[in-house]
Amino acid sequence: MSTLLIYGATGYTGRMAAEHAKALGLNFEIGGRSHSPLATLAAYLDVPFRVFDAGPDAENALSGITVLLNFAGPFAQTAEALMRACIKAGIDYLDITAEINVYRLAETLHVEAARAQTLLLPGVGWDVVPTDSLAVHVAQRVQQPRALNIALQVPGSMSRGSARSVSEIIGAGVLARVDGELVATPEAQPRHFDFGEGPVLCAPLSFGDLVTGWHSTGIPDIAMFVHLSGDAFPEGDLSLLPDGPTAEERDGHRARAAVEVTGADGVIARSVIETMNGYSFTPLAAVEAARRVLNGERRPGFATPAQVFGGGFAQSIAGTVITDLQDR
């Protein structure tokens, strides 16, 4: 029987994913680095657990696993070792990262993974599932799409794990895709996007969509932006942050992203996607992606959610709505 391993299952989002996998009746195990919290969660869920580091010997801990779903961030510290272990063991790898360098790593491992018949599928959470689906949707609304702009709206508070990943995202610098190539754009300026309630100012920032958008749509020029509200990007001692927002806080902050695509004729098509809060969306999307891969929806090598599951994948998660705005 195919078996899913949820790694980082005792973290804020990993635990929600494990509980959802249990509710769906999936055949799965949980894993991570610390024995005591894993043992407690495994007993609660009545599932097996594995204790191992995301290091050079990780392959030895993956016997009998079909799909690995990684929730252990910052992913700069776990993704490469687990990707390489999965390639060696012939296991499909999924994660929920927003860190662009993990996508770039997966690109470099594409040939090796394809040769091993292994899927590398980072970004099966709120980044990048909604924006990946939205980019595909909007690209179909223009003739010969040439430029893609993506903006995220980040409301409410951030989990401790996400805050740690943000330092990796900021550390990557401001990048854009120009004529199909990723280039540094330190002089990029903020600009306004409409998430459905009027234009708001968004700052340039480099997320995984600079990689996935290119592979999913083939659009050669891509830029990314983010609109911050509340205490979305915390500063100071991150270890003092709570695990993450409460269920009530999540329910009070739905998530949105805006995409605009410019065609060769200059026409600009714009759409907005709205989902439940990103922290509620991510475990549902990630487990659904893993379930589909377990059931054979897969392709060898590095891929994007839209390439594997189609452009409508985000809308398969309850509460997700795409609204088309007026073309320019």
Residue 195 has pLDDT above 90, yes or no: yes
Average pLDDT score over the chain: 93
Q: Are residues 28 and 43 in the same domain?
A: yes
Residue 7 has pLDDT above 90, yes or no: yes
Nearest to 61 by CA among 5, 105, 13, 115: 5
Q: Please tell me the distance from the alpha carbon of residue 135 to that of residue 131, in angstroms, as a whole number.
A: 6
pLDDT value of residue 232: 53
Q: Are residues 151 and 256 in the same domain?
A: yes
Residue 278 has pLDDT above 70, yes or no: yes
Two structure tokens written together for 103: 């996508």
Beta bridge partners of 258: 151, 272
pLDDT value of residue 155: 75
Q: Are residues 249 and 227 in the same domain?
A: yes
pLDDT value of residue 1: 79
Q: What's the pLDDT tens digit per position in 98-111?
A: 999 999 999 999 99
Provide the domain count of the chain.
Answer: 2
Q: Are residues 92 and 160 in the same domain?
A: no
Q: Are residues 170 and 317 in the same domain?
A: yes
Q: Please tell me the distance from the alpha carbon of residue 183 to that of residue 292, in angstroms, as a whole number.
A: 34
Q: Are residues 109 and 140 in the same domain?
A: no
Residue 312 contacts residue 46 (beta carbons within 8 Å):
no
> Cis peptide leading into 74, omega within 30 of 0?
yes
Q: Which residues contact 213 (CB under 8 A, 6 or more apart)?
A: 131, 132, 135, 148, 150, 177, 219, 222
Q: Are residues 115 and 215 in the same domain?
A: no
Residue with tokens 């911050």: 228
Q: Are residues 118 and 149 in the same domain?
A: no
- Mean predicted confidence (pLDDT) in 308-315: 98
Beta bridge partners of 92: 67
Residue 237 has pLDDT above 70, yes or no: no
> Cis peptide leading into 128, omega within 30 of 0?
yes
161: CATH: 3.30.360
Beta bridge partners of 227: 153
Q: Are residues 93 and 234 in the same domain?
A: no
Q: Please tell me the distance from the alpha carbon of residue 133 to that of residue 221, in angstroms, as a whole number.
A: 17
117: CATH: 3.40.50.720
Alpha helices in the chain (DSSP H): 12-24, 35-45, 79-89, 100-108, 110-115, 129-139, 160-171, 209-217, 247-251, 278-294, 305-309
Query: Binning pLDDT at 50, 70 and 90, where does residue 170 land?
Result: confident
Q: Are β-strands 301-302 and 119-121 bridged in parallel, bridged antiparallel, or unpaired? A: parallel
Q: Which residues of 245-284 are buried (b: 16+ CB within 10 A; e: fewer)?
A: beeebbeebbbbbbbbbbbeeeebbbbbbbbbbbbbbbbb
Q: Please tell me the distance from the alpha carbon of residue 206 to that of residue 259, in angstroms, as a whole number.
A: 15
Query: What is the extent of the structural domain holding 260?
Result: 128-278+312-325
What is the end-to-end Cα distance of the chain in Å, rounded?
52
DSSP class of residue 326 equals P
Query: Binning pLDDT at 50, 70 and 90, where does residue 235 land?
Result: low
- Name the helix (H) or strand (E) containing 313: none
Query: Binning pLDDT at 50, 70 and 90, where does residue 244 land?
Result: confident
Higher pLDDT, 169 or 25: 25
With 0-12 / 13-18 / 19 or more C-beta atoms within 10 angstroms meaning exposed / middle / buried, residue 144 is exposed
pLDDT value of residue 166: 73
pLDDT value of residue 239: 63
Q: Please tell me the distance from the alpha carbon of residue 232 to that of residue 156, in angstroms, as a whole number.
A: 6
Q: Are β-strands 181-184 and 67-70 bridged in parallel, bridged antiparallel, or unpaired? A: unpaired
Q: Are residues 135 and 221 in the same domain?
A: yes
- % of the chain residues with pLDDT over 70: 93
Residue 231 has pLDDT above 60, yes or no: no
Task: Compute the residue count for the chain.
Answer: 328
Q: Are residues 94 and 162 in the same domain?
A: no
Handedness of CA 16, 20, 22, 26 (dihedral sign): negative
Q: Are residues 69 and 16 in the same domain?
A: yes
Q: Which amino acid appears at position 121 of this protein?
A: L
Q: What's the pLDDT tens digit per position in 80-89?
A: 999 999 999 9
